[in-house]
């Protein structure tokens, strides 16, 4: 392996067609301007760099743009995905679906306030001080709105959890922007099994030096009784604006020193999990949702890691226990929980 490892999360605007492979695997797991040419806006890929000393980061460098061809000099229909760079994460926002097409975050014990060496920030985020808000950096015509979720029957599901962004109040507030939100089934999923999976990702920082987490909403086909595969999904809002994913994927990449005697040589582990946007029993084993990383990439039309990276990393379930801890995070708040309030006009 080369001295430094570069993990490419290249996001392409054109989606890839999904074959029956991942759909069959998941379905089998039964669970209840001016005329002059202007630069082309490009959504560059976040790049996770792990150097010789184990220091890692998600690059925020913008890729070099190119000029429009003459056929587009009167108008550029893109970009389809807006690159969003936040304090605690990066994301690609899909203007058509009105939710993230992916999110990427870098977790460490220190970033979560769990380091015995680094004290928590004095400005640590407090969830009670955050509120869901529309992202005004997105043009209004393509923006998810608070009204879209009102009485929709779905939770405003965080793709990057608020608990992953405790480094500052602003960082936590940014997780409540609707560009970080997708419609999720509430009881039995967002408030339960999905929350357990998010907790598992955070607990990985107790074993690994660096943890990279990618969250990817998916639209997977189902085989109908006529033998044909179809993708069907709900759209919420008045008028219908926000698409409801059929599934969600969590893809993780971890690093840690290979041995105490070789702290500069890193051991890599990775894995992908695809969960249906539906009620999942607490007793469902996490490993039952394991899929190849390539399956997620193909379904979403993105490339998360290089082939070299995937071929040299161990599976995460071989490096640590892929077991959730059932914690009813919302039980103490059920009586106090309020329904999604009507947006103020």
- Closest to 90 (Cα-Cα) out of 166, 155, 171, 190: 171
Place of tokens 């977790």: 107
Q: What are φ and ψ of residue 194, in 5° steps?
A: -65, -40
C-alpha dihedral, 216 to 104 to 136 to 173, nearest 10° = 110
The answer to whether residues 238 and 276 touch, using CB atoms and an 8 Å cutoff, is: no
The answer to whether residues 109 and 205 touch, using CB atoms and an 8 Å cutoff, is: yes
Sign of CA pseudo-dihedral 292, 298, 300, 306 = positive
Give how far Cα 330 sits from Cα of 55, 137, 190, 334, 335, Å: 36, 31, 10, 6, 10
Q: Which two tokens stand for residue 284?
A: 């469902």
How is residue 25 annotated by DSSP?
A: H
Has 158 been annotated as catalytic?
Answer: yes
From the candidates 158, 192, 247, 315, which is the catalytic residue?
158
> Cα 9 from chain centroid?
12
The answer to whether residues 155 and 185 touch, using CB atoms and an 8 Å cutoff, is: yes
| Gap between the Cα atoms of 203 and 107, Å rounded | 10
How is residue 147 annotated by DSSP?
A: H
Catalytic residue positions?
158
């Amino acid at each position: 392996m080369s001295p430094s490892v570069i993990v490419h999360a290249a996001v392409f605007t054109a989606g890839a067609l999904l074959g029956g492979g991942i759909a069959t695997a998941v379905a089998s797991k039964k669970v209840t301007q001016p005329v002059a040419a202007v630069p082309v806006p490009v959504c560059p890929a976040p790049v996770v760099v792990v150097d010789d000393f184990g220091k890692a980061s998600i690059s925020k460098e913008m890729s070099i743009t190119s000029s429009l061809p003459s056929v587009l000099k009167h108008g550029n229909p893109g970009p389809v995905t807006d690159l969003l760079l936040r304090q605690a994460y990066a994301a690609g926002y899909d203007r058509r679906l009105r939710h993230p097409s992916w999110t990427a975050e870098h977790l460490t014990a220190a970033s979560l306030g769990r380091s015995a060496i680094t004290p928590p920030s004095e400005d640590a985020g407090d969830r009670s001080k955050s509120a869901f808000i529309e992202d005004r950096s997105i043009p209004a015509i393509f923006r998810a709105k608070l009204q879209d979720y009102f009485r929709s029957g779905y939770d405003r599901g965080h793709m990057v959890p608020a608990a992953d962004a405790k480094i500052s109040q602003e960082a936590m507030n940014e997780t409540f922007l609707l560009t970080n939100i997708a419609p999720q089934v509430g009881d039995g999923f967002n408030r339960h099994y999905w929350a357990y999976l998010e907790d598992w990702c955070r607990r990985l920082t107790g074993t690994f030096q660096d943890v990279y987490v990618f969250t990817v909403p998916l639209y997977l086909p189902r085989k109908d009784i006529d033998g044909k595969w179809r993708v069907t999904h709900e759209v919420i809002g008045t008028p219908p604006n926000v698409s409801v994913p059929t599934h969600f994927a969590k893809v993780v990449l971890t690093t840690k020193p290979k041995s105490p005697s070789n702290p500069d040589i890193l051991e890599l582990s990775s894995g992908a999990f695809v969960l249906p946007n539906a009620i999942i029993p607490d007793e469902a084993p996490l490993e039952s949702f394991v899929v190849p990383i390539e399956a997620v990439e193909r379904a979403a039309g993105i490339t998360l890691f290089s082939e070299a990276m995937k071929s040299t990393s161990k599976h995460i379930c071989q490096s640590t226990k892929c077991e959730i801890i059932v914690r009813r995070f919302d039980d103490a708040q059920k009586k106090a929980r309020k329904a999604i309030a009507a947006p103020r006009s």
